[in-house]
């Protein structure tokens, strides 16, 4: 149970980490975690003793109904306590990794520039009806990410012939964007490629160390000025834009100026060697060497058209290393291998593939860090090396802030899982080994055409499913313990529902694969921690069910439960969670808001699980629904507003029943749950927005029942379009009252 990668010897990190813990503090956190685990184990023994006494009492009474109810309660309580233990154990694994981790130094990171033929790299950005500004951030960050000779491909999944003019404008913009960024880079690249050629010509005659040092310093200052000019010219509107300017543009600019200062000092002593100068010129020539293109699989009849991200990626990965021609067969466009004919499209092969969602950003050292790790001999069986995404800091809305906080704390648990070799692939961004993808590739048929499927799409969590497929074939997944990527979190309740429901829909279907791995693998007992953590990760939705039952079941008997011990069992978890929130840049008080946030998401998680069960029974997969990224508000289905609303009086009655039959402790517990749910309704959903969503949902259903497209609404004296009702948020939701605010109501 150790980290699978021996950390290389290095100095300080060049990439600031949002969760930075100095060495003494790491030891303190380890001690706190051990104390919490010990305290919780002790409390669990007292809880088990108390609950056991109650069960014996029930047996003596021969009350079958209460015996079944108590056993059900014990199981729910066990699920919650297990989740607490898992969090503490993975936190401990993260801290051990953090204590041993030594960031790569500059020589290690930039060793790729000394290779004559470095491993080839391609960056794939799947996109579906994304806003231009979101895609621009992602493409630019990938293009400016340091790695020589990389290619960046935008995989446009929009319908190639949209019927609406707005969709056509968005598609045209997506097609133009890679060309615009590529043209911007070509002008800069030409400058530094020419400088490299002139240096090589000078080197054949003589080498002047001081002169080359000064020349390189001037070039690095020129590069820094270009980055700074891009940042100052960028029209920042929100925290996402602010992060883009600060981490993608200004941070590299600062590093280039520091490199220029170092080279100027070397000029004074004339100690720059010819090999060091060659290294610097090569690095400069590669800073703007990325080639950007786009690809649309849906234009071609013989490529897969399944509406999910996995098949979008599979379509292009299957074309790597081929020469292709466009041909028309039976009136439809096909893409076939050119053979001896001149090709229309040449797709170079790649040793490494980076996949990144269109709403993510990669820092400049992302590829250098991950490819160095994957290139080490001990990493020969690493299929995926990733830096799980962090939330974009500075969220103005409370819901987005809490969703980001949950993401950042989950990053710690993900890092801890690597300590036990139990990591899952996180699909938002990752570096993939092409050889591993070939190992799990299978050929399927869609609409009569053969399709290579690398990333499996049997479920909506294609990354999790593919992770188990890789593990079954002896590959490993490694989380690099530095924050090198950021991704946008849902800005409103509607988008959050779509995202979290999709995440909960599928993991249960992967459990049989994991159990097969557990029974067929060698060293079964040594891998028990890995299998156990993976199994909990796939079945963690059970915690949502357990929490729902715990807060919603009234205890209608005179045998008191040891509630004080139940509360004490939760204390270590919430104390550690509060510490991690603070160290991730949030406030400790946010742990109370997180409790409310999790209560609100219980119906969403259960809905996702039920969709998984439906797929298991019927064999029909749920449709893939992407998380909306619109500059306004996405409406939530009415049921996810009505359930919390109707739960408030129910939980209040449960609190009163608990008080009557079991005392003040249950009244306090029920009152806390009522208050938390009311807070969620007013802050996360917002009552007015919830009312608009419920009303629009009922209007849509009524209108569909009547066979009409549009129903008239009394609000504002105008019609409510079912498919896209425009309601001004500027008047009703100050949190989203920017110039682009609008509401999108999903029928």
In SS3 terms, 223-272 reads as HHHHHHHHHHHCCCCCHHHHHHHHHHHHHHHHHHHHHHHHHHHHHHHCCC
What pLDDT was estimated at residue 382?
A: 97
Query: Does residue 731 sit within a domain?
Result: yes
**Is residue 210, in this structure, part of any structural domain at all?**
no
**What tokens were used for 383?**
């299929």
- Which of 311, 335, 313 has its CA nearest to residue 323? 335
Look up the domain containing 738 and give its range: 687-744
Cα–Cα–Cα angle for 698, 699, 702, rounded to 5 degrees:
85
- Rounded to an integer, what distance in angstroms lies between the CA atom of residue 113 and that of residue 115? 6
3-state SS assignment for residue 585: coil
pLDDT score, position 631: 66
Write out pLDDT tens, residues 341-379. Answer: 899 999 999 999 999 999 999 999 999 999 999 999 999
Is 723 part of a structural domain of the chain? yes
Query: Could you tell me if residue 412 is inside a domain?
Result: no
* 662 domain-assigned: no
Angle between helix axes 209-233 and 165-203 (nearest 10 degrees) is 170
Give residue 8's pLDDT: 40
Helix/strand/coil percentages in the chain, nearest 5: 60, 10, 30
Structure confidence at residue 20 (pLDDT) = 40
* Position 705 in a domain: yes
| Reported pTM | 0.88
User: Which runs of consecutive H residues, i.e. helices, occur in 110-235?
Assistant: 132-144, 165-203, 209-233
At which residue do the structure tokens 């060309």 appear? 179
> Considering the domain boundaries, does residue 635 fall inside one?
no
pLDDT of res. 709: 46
Burial class (CB in 10 A: 0-12, 13-18, 19+), 268: exposed
Give the C-alpha separation, 192 to 263, whole Å: 17
What is the DSSP-derived secondary structure letter of residue 378?
G
Q: Helix (H) and strand (E) counts for the chain?
A: 24, 19
Query: How many residues does the structure list for the chain?
Result: 747
The Cα 78–Cα 71 span in angstroms is 10
Contacts 24+ apart (CB under 8 A), 639-644: 639/603, 640/493, 640/497, 640/603, 640/604, 640/607, 641/685, 641/690, 641/693, 641/694, 642/694, 643/603, 644/599, 644/600, 644/603, 644/677, 644/680, 644/681, 644/685
CA atoms 560, 562, 564, 567: torsion sign: negative
Identify the pLDDT of residue 281: 96
| Cβ neighbours around 162 below 10 Å, total | 15
Q: Do the Cβ atoms of 111 and 342 come closer than 8 Å?
A: no
The whole-number pLDDT of residue 661 equals: 72
**HEC secondary structure over 709-729:** CEEECCHHHCEEECCCCCCCH
Contacts of 503 (CB under 8 A, 6+ apart): 460, 461, 608
Within 10 angstroms of residue 539's Cβ, the number of other Cβ atoms is 16
Q: Determine contact, residues 597/680, Cβ cutoff 8 Å.
A: yes
Q: What is the pLDDT of residues 127-175, one digit of tens each?
A: 998 889 899 999 999 999 999 999 999 999 999 988 888 889 999 999 9
Per-residue HEC secondary structure of 55-115 comes to HHHHHHHCCHHHHHHHHHHHHHHHHHHHHHHHHHHHHHHHHHHHHHCCCCCHHHHHHHHHC
CA distance 449 to 444: 8
Q: Which of 256, 246, 248 is nearest to 284 (CA)?
A: 256
How high is the pLDDT of residue 521? Answer: 63
Question: How far is residue 475's CA from residue 433's CA, in Å, rounded to a whole number?
Answer: 10
C-beta neighbour count of 407 within 10 angstroms = 19
Between CA 363 and CA 350 the distance in angstroms is 21
CA dist 456 and 381 (Å) reads 20
Q: How far apart are CA 719 and CA 726, in angstroms?
A: 10
Q: Supply the pLDDT for residue 560.
A: 55
Low-confidence stretches of the chain (pLDDT beneath 70): 1-24, 521, 555-563, 630-631, 662-663, 704-747
Q: How far apart are CA 127 and CA 221, in angstroms?
A: 35
Please tell me the distance from the alpha carbon of residue 503 to that of residue 464, in angstroms, as a whole number: 10
Q: Residue 26 phi/psi, 5° resolution?
A: -65, -45
* pLDDT for residue 621: 82
Note whether residue 672 is domain-resident.
no
Distance between CA atoms of 590 and 226, rounded to whole angstroms?
A: 40
Quote the number of domains for the chain. Answer: 1
Residues 415, 479 contacting (CB under 8 angstroms): yes
Alpha carbons 621 and 631: distance in angstroms, whole number: 30
CA separation, residue 585 to residues 30, 71, 394, 614, 680 (Å): 20, 41, 10, 40, 22
Pair type for strands 476-479 and 485-487: unpaired
Nearest to 621 by CA among 610, 611, 631, 606: 611
The bridge status of strand 322-329 relative to strand 345-347 is antiparallel
């Amino acid at each position: 149970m150790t980290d699978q990668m021996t950390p290389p010897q290095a100095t300080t990190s060049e990439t600031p980490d949002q969760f930075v813990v100095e060495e003494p503090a790491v030891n303190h956190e380890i001690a706190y975690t051990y104390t919490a685990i010990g305290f919780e184990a002790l409390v669990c023994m007292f809880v088990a003793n108390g609950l056991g006494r109650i069960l014996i009492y029930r047996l003596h009474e021969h009350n079958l109904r209460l015996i079944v109810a108590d056993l059900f309660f014990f199981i729910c309580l066990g699920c919650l306590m297990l989740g607490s233990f898992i969090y503490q154990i993975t936190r401990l694994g993260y801290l051990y990794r953090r204590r041993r981790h030594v960031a790569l130094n500059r020589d290690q990171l930039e060793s790729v520039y000394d290779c004559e033929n470095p491993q080839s790299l391609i960056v794939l950005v799947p996109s579906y009806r994304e806003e231009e500004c979101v895609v621009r951030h992602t493409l630019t960050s990938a293009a400016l990410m340091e790695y020589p000779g990389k290619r960046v491909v935008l995989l446009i999944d929009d319908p190639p012939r949209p019927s609406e003019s707005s969709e056509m404008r968005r598609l045209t913009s997506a097609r133009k964007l890679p060309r615009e960024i590529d043209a911007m880079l070509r002008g800069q690249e030409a400058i530094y490629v020419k400088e490299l050629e002139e240096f090589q010509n000078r080197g054949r005659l003589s080498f002047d160390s001081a002169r080359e040092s000064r020349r390189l310093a001037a070039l690095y200052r020129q590069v820094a000025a270009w980055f700074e000019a891009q940042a100052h010219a960028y029209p920042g509107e929100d925290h996402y834009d602010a992060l883009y300017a600060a981490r993608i543009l200004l941070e590299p600019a600062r590093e280039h100026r520091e490199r220029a200062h170092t080279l100027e000092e070397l000029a004074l002593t004339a100690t720059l060697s010819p090999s060091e100068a060659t290294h610097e010129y090569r690095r400069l020539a590669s800073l703007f060497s990325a080639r950007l293109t786009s690809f649309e699989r849906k234009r071609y009849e013989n490529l897969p058209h399944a509406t999910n991200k996995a098949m979008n990626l599979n379509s292009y990965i299957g074309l790597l290393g081929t020469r292709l021609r466009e041909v028309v067969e039976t009136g439809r466009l096909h893409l076939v291998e050119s053979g001896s004919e001149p090709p229309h499209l040449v797709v170079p092969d790649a040793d490494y593939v980076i996949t990144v969602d269109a709403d993510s950003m990669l820092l400049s050292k992302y590829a250098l860090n991950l490819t160095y790790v994957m290139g080490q001999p001990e990493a020969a069986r690493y299929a995926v090396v990733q830096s799980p995404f962090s939330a974009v800091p500075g969220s103005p809305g409370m819901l987005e802030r809490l969703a980001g906080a949950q993401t950042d704390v989950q990053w710690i648990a993900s890092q801890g899982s690597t300590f036990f070799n139990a990591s899952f692939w996180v699909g938002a961004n990752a570096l993939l080994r092409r050889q591993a993808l070939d190992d799990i590739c299978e050929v399927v048929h869609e609409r009569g055409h053969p399709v290579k499927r690398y990333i499996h799409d049997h479920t909506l969590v294609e990354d999790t499913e593919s992770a188990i497929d890789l593990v079954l074939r002896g590959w490993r997944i490694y989380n690099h313990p530095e924050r090198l990527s950021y991704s946008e979190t849902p800005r409103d309740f509607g988008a959050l529902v779509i995202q979290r429901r999709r995440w909960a829909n599928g993991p249960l279907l992967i459990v049989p694969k994991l159990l097969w791995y557990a029974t067929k693998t060698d060293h079964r007992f040594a891998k028990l921690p890995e299998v156990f953590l993976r199994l909990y990760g796939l079945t963690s939705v059970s915690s949502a069910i357990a929490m729902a039952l715990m807060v919603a079941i009234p205890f209608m008997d005179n045998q008191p439960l040891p509630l004080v011990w139940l509360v004490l069992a939760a204390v270590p978890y919430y104390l550690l969670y509060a510490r991690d929130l603070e160290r991730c840049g949030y406030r400790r008080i946010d742990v109370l808001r997180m409790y409310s946030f999790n209560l609100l998401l219980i119906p969403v998680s259960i809905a996702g699980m039920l969709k998984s069960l439906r797929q298991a029974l019927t064999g029909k997969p749920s449709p893939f629904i992407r998380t909306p990224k619109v500059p306004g508000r996405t409406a939530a289905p009415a049921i996810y507003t009505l359930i919390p609303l109707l739960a408030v009086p129910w939980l209040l009655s449960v609190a009163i029943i608990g008080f009557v039959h079991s005392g003040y402790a249950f009244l306090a517990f029920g009152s806390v749950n009522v208050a938390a749910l009311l807070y969620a309704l007013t802050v996360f959903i917002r009552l007015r927005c919830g009312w608009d969503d419920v009303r629009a949902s009922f209007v849509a259903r009524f209108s569909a029942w009547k066979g009409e497209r549009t129903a008239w609404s009394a609000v504002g004296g105008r019609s409510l379009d079912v498919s896209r009702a425009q309601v001004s948020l500027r008047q009703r939701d100050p949190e989203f009252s920017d110039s682009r605010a609008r509401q999108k109501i999903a029928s």
